[in-house]
Structure 1
Amino acid sequence: MIGVAPPAYDPAAPTTAHTLPVGSPGTVRAYVAELLRRHRRAFALLIGVNTVAVLASMAGPWLLGDLVERLSDGAKELRLGPTVALFALALVVQAAFVQQVRLRGAMLGERMLADLREDFLVRAVGLPPGVLERAGTGDLLSRITTDIDRLANAMREAVPQLTIGVMWVALLLGGLVVTAPPLAATVLLAAPLLIVGCRWYFRRAPSAYRSEAAGYAAVAAALTETVDAGRTVEAHRLSNRRIRLSDQRVKEWTAWERYTLWLRSVLFPVVNLTHTTVLGSVVLCGGVFVIQGWIDVGQLTTGALLAQMLVEPVGLILRWYDELQVAQVSLARLVGVREIEPAAGDESMAPGGRHVHADRVHFGYREGVDVLRRVSLEVAPGTRMALVGPSGAGKSTLGRLLAGIYAPREGRVTLGGAELSRMPAERVRAHVALVNQEHHVFVGSLRDNLLLARTAAGDDELWSALAAVDADGWARALGDGLDTEVGSGGTALTPAQAQQIALARLVLADPHTLVLDEATSLLDPRAARHLERSLARVLDGRTVVAIAHRLHTAHDADVIAVVENGRVSELGSHDRLVEADGAYAALWRSWHG
């Protein structure tokens, strides 16, 4: 069999573009087995109706063979009435059950696809905090869009059709064995050709399709990152470099596309040759068998028609099995999240107070590269602490550790003596919340957006939360009040209003400790000042750790921690640190002029 080498690439170019893992064959098989167990009744029903449909389709060859046999025996009267009646009945039964096969197959596919989507979402949400945040945007987008789209066709069509095809072939071969046993062996003459061709193809196809999927993820990542950072790209004149990178990624992806297309262009002629070999061997060998008297003409007629009927289910199997090669890669990428240990929490862990303590903490995003080193910090209840320092010093990382988003590599971060990394995520969020510049309005009603924080809240509590952040005025002016549809396709909200919704959720969740990462820094000055007044009411009486990118935030804090090179270099009040004339004093002078 002639072969070509798969595309060769620069070793520096990624052949995979994922942060989340791709599921191993064992993980994929285990998940498929789980799906089959969930839907075993639907599978059994599909096989049952398909069996009836195939048996009905075999009535025609059997009746025609019987008719030919009677003619060869010199029958004077054929009595076609019963034959035509049986044939018509078989057609009606076949049509009815084929319709049921399609209906049951489509229903089964949709149910499995719904399970897959739900399983992926539930598993992804249950991942340890920070895992998805560190995942590549392009990889995440390609998994939840392209991979789901590819699997949609497989779940709706490939799995039911493959089941139908396998049953179809088994029943036809069984019918051939019963009708004309010697002819059944002649069908196997084409088996070596089909086996060799399929073995050649399926040894190469899975890895090629995986590389194709990874190449598409790399394209998506390059394009998404360029669009997201469009202004930065323009400001630093990186357009040509980003275009060259995108062109390279597209070139790599299309090379794999061409390779998989070439694999299919070899397989399909082999399949067509197999069909011709099956029919030819049955007719030629059958003729010899008739001459030798081993079978009669009627058996040959029935056997030839059954062999001809094998063409469609064999083609069906190979077509949808090829489709499943693409789907298997997408399925492996989706079930890969099952190989990440879910966030494990000790339900017995409960904080004994509101005291936050970081004890000799080390943390890094990559193995062997620590962003924070031997950081120790205490935040007393009700304290307002500001984390300041140069860009890239580790302020935001430390804030996320204190909020329980990340777990330290070494050391401990505790709340009331309970280690945050060992507490269930839901319990952590009940006590500590992170508020940053990012805010999201979900598609749905305003009420639904607020109930995310506390599902049992009544309308009075929702209005009180909106009033607490000065949002009740514009909210009451909406056409349907709390029932107004917001988000994409609904009422458009300004960035300030979207942030107010996020703060209202915070009021409803009512955590006693907040980590603020400049929640108003992306708003225009007027909106920022208005929102800061709303935020001040939310912060009243709570412990606050503010990551201060603007030093006026630090000026008002009770305690300031200066973070430099992954360490806390200074700790104290504003006046004390200015008097000390250290790193904070230098920052204050450079910012204050």
Structure 2
Amino acid sequence: MIRLPIADRAGVRRAALDLIRADKRAVVAMVALNAVAAVAGLTGPWLLGHIVDAVAENRASVHLVDRLALGILLCTLTQILLGRSAMAIGYRFGERTAARIRESYLDRVLALPPALAERVPAGDLTARGTADVNAVATTLRDAVPEVLIAAAQAVFVLVAVFFLDPVLGGVAVLGLSGIAVATRWYLRRARTAYLDEGAAGSALADELTAAVAGARTVEALGLLERRAEHARQVLAGARRTRLRTLFLRTVFYPSVDVSYVIPVVSVLLIGGALYTHGLLTLGEVAAAALYLRQLAVPLDAILIWLEQLQSSGASFARLEGLAALPTAFPGGKLPVGDRIEVHDVRYAYAGAADVLRGVDLTVRPGERLALVGPSGAGKSTLGRLLAGVDRPRTGTVTTGGVPVAELPPDLLRRQVVLVTQEHHVFRETLRANLTLAAPDATDEDLHAALAVVGADWARELPDGLGTVLGGAGYALDGAAAQQIALARVVLADPHTVILDEATALLDPATARAAERALAAVLHSRTVIAIAHRLQTAHDADRVAVMEAGRLVELGTHDDLVAAGGTYAALWRTWHG
């Protein structure tokens, strides 16, 4: 297993700016509307200050007060309408940007080299693709518009206070310094704490995945208490990280709440003193106090979302970390020809001895090669290397002169396809399951591919190719699911197909029919069959015999039987 990287702050900033540039017209419109709405919101306290001054100076007529009150009402309505319009634009921006995040994540995962994708912790990848993507999407949809609106309002409010009186503006800024100190303390600790929380969440997802996948093994070997103890340790780690982020919030929020009151009190005290000395009017002091009281609303919105921004920022860093992983194809020459060459290949699983030891093999274009040998001989491991799923520890595996493991997924699928006993049927229509291999295939092509592998049951489905499979839809048995996997191979039409016990779940008659059909369809294609059914080897052009990680025999069926070696012994055992 390998640890997925995490992007640094600069990488996250660049990614965020790229997302904003991708929809900059919406961002400009949102900011402009927010600015106008903020100006409209500032007019109300200013007009109210005029009313106070008029009353204090005994020049307030009913007509003047009504006119100023009507102005306050109109400004408030304008602010509401412009603010709601800006928020609507912001939400649409957020949804489009969230879609870009999800698509980018999926593209990066699908672009991973198969050899790398196999070694990535499934729980970590799942957590990043679900919890982290949702956190970033929610923030972009909700937080970004609200924070932009609040920031515009806060800036304009402070400018308005300075416009009323620079002294009161300076007092307000000094009173707000407590928020700056508390925010700095929080931000210095928050990113690390939320990254730790995300890592603990990935570890927990890994533990749950392993527990579900290995439940029967754990029960059979009596390992329940050991696994439970390990799960408790993982849960304890997740709990510690969450308590850490909770502690940061419990210190940060009360500090900010206290800091809201200080500027208002300071302005009233200093403003009152200036009023008594005739340096300010009562209306100006009241307007400044109202402005600063109004400032609490946008600041509260910003600081409430600050916690969410830290959490989603950590999630964004985890998502952008995938960009640091190597892509499948670093660039260079394309495969020339279909010849597969295996030269002095050695391979070992993590922490174990070599399971392949100096294998040399050439697979000629268009031939049918059978890989046989006892269990544990390395047949399936060699098949994974030939398909580019794994990369050899030493030596090379090439197709057309290019290392198979370095081909991008789309090009790799046109070169080599591995079909194993493991298959997946999506909870989608039969048509959608098949067009994964050939998006442009017609219904006639899909029916022809199903007919090739003997899936006659497909024509009896209630909705034909539109029938939903799995879940609450049509239930498939193992044989039918494997036939769908084989039909995908027919549709993909690669030059080399590796069958690793691909027909194991079919009954003998159906399996033989499917193998004959595949052989007919893949005429002039290369077929590498890994199987314990030696009848497959009998029909092959050549047979490669594996034993203890080495290629010990290579030749035709008749030659190897006549040689009386390992293959001959396997053949005699097969026939009793």
TM-score, structure 1 normalization: 0.89
How does 1:53-452 map onto structure 2 within 5 Å? 53-75=37-59, 77=61, 79-344=64-329, 346=331, 348-352=333-337, 354-364=338-348, 371-389=355-373, 391-421=375-405, 423-452=407-436
* Residue type of the alignment partner of 2:86: V
Given that 2:2 and 2:119 are in contact with CA atoms closer than 8 Å, whether structure 1 keeps it comes out as no
Given that 2:438 and 2:491 are in contact with CA atoms closer than 8 Å, whether structure 1 keeps it comes out as yes
CA distance in 2, matches of 1:275, 1:554: 81
Q: Which residue of 1 aligns with 2:496?
A: 513
Q: Does residue 539 of structure 1 match 2:519?
A: yes
How far off is 1:193 after superposition?
A: 2.1
**Deviations 1:352-398 (CA, angstroms, capped at 9, x unpaired):** 2x432212234456599765443211123343333344555533232
How far off is 1:246 after superposition?
A: 1.1
How far off is 1:28 after superposition?
A: 1.4
- Call closer, same or farther: CA 1:588–1:199 in 2, change over 3 Å: farther
- Call closer, same or farther: CA 1:393–1:199 in 2, change over 3 Å: farther
CA distance in 2, matches of 1:578, 1:342: 45
CA distance in 2, matches of 1:76, 1:249: 70
Q: Which residue of 1 aligns with 2:30?
A: 46
* Residue type of the alignment partner of 1:106: Y
Given that 1:18 and 1:214 are in contact with CA atoms closer than 8 Å, whether structure 2 keeps it comes out as no
Given that 2:101 and 2:137 are in contact with CA atoms closer than 8 Å, whether structure 1 keeps it comes out as no
**Deviations 1:424-458 (CA, angstroms, capped at 9, x unpaired):** 54333223211111222234332222222222322
CA distance in 1, matches of 2:535, 2:226: 39
Q: Percent same amino acid among aligned pairs?
A: 42
CA distance in 1, matches of 2:194, 2:542: 56
Given that 1:443 and 1:486 are in contact with CA atoms closer than 8 Å, whether structure 2 keeps it comes out as yes
Deviates more, 1:356-365 or 1:509-518: 356-365
Paired residue secondary structure (1:387): strand
Given that 1:356 and 1:380 are in contact with CA atoms closer than 8 Å, whether structure 2 keeps it comes out as yes
Given that 2:110 and 2:409 are in contact with CA atoms closer than 8 Å, whether structure 1 keeps it comes out as no
**Deviations 1:123-160 (CA, angstroms, capped at 9, x unpaired):** 21112223222212211221122212222321221222
Within the candidate set 441, 456, 479, 1:496 is matched to: 479
CA distance in 2, matches of 1:591, 1:221: 41
- Call closer, same or farther: CA 1:317–1:300 in 2, change over 3 Å: same
**Deviations 1:68-122 (CA, angstroms, capped at 9, x unpaired):** 1122223152522211221221122122122213212211111111110011111
CA distance in 2, matches of 1:412, 1:18: 22
Deviates more, 1:38-47 or 1:431-440: 431-440
Q: Which residue of 2 aligns with 1:19?
A: 3
**Deviations 1:483-513 (CA, angstroms, capped at 9, x unpaired):** 2233444333222222212211211222232
Given that 1:113 and 1:155 are in contact with CA atoms closer than 8 Å, whether structure 2 keeps it comes out as yes
CA distance in 2, matches of 1:402, 1:389: 17
How far off is 1:325 after superposition?
A: 0.9
Given that 2:42 and 2:156 are in contact with CA atoms closer than 8 Å, whether structure 1 keeps it comes out as no
- Call closer, same or farther: CA 1:296–1:378 in 2, change over 3 Å: same
- Call closer, same or farther: CA 1:368–1:303 in 2, change over 3 Å: farther
CA distance in 2, matches of 1:239, 1:384: 46
**Deviations 1:392-427 (CA, angstroms, capped at 9, x unpaired):** 553323212212334445433233445434555433
- Call closer, same or farther: CA 1:222–1:422 in 2, change over 3 Å: closer
Alpha-carbon RMSD = 2.7
Paired residue secondary structure (1:485): coil
CA distance in 2, matches of 1:233, 1:308: 61
Count of residue pairs brought into register by the alignment: 572
**Deviations 1:442-482 (CA, angstroms, capped at 9, x unpaired):** 343322222222223222222211111111x3222122222
Q: Which residue of 2 aligns with 1:4?
A: none
Q: Which residue of 1 aligns with 2:554?
A: 571
Given that 1:431 and 1:511 are in contact with CA atoms closer than 8 Å, whether structure 2 keeps it comes out as yes
CA distance in 2, matches of 1:177, 1:135: 56
Within the candidate set 452, 468, 472, 1:468 is matched to: 452
- Call closer, same or farther: CA 1:424–1:139 in 2, change over 3 Å: closer
Given that 1:165 and 1:314 are in contact with CA atoms closer than 8 Å, whether structure 2 keeps it comes out as yes
CA distance in 2, matches of 1:397, 1:555: 22
Deviates more, 1:222-231 or 1:188-197: 188-197
**Deviations 1:524-565 (CA, angstroms, capped at 9, x unpaired):** x63x65244213311333422223356665565444434455
CA distance in 1, matches of 2:353, 2:297: 58
Given that 2:113 and 2:408 are in contact with CA atoms closer than 8 Å, whether structure 1 keeps it comes out as no
Q: Which residue of 2 aligns with 1:479?
A: 462
Q: Which residue of 2 aligns with 1:561?
A: 544
Given that 2:194 and 2:245 are in contact with CA atoms closer than 8 Å, whether structure 1 keeps it comes out as yes
CA distance in 2, matches of 1:370, 1:311: 66
Deviates more, 1:297-306 or 1:475-484: 475-484
TM-score, structure 2 normalization: 0.91
Given that 2:114 and 2:405 are in contact with CA atoms closer than 8 Å, whether structure 1 keeps it comes out as no
CA distance in 2, matches of 1:372, 1:228: 27
* Residue type of the alignment partner of 1:504: A
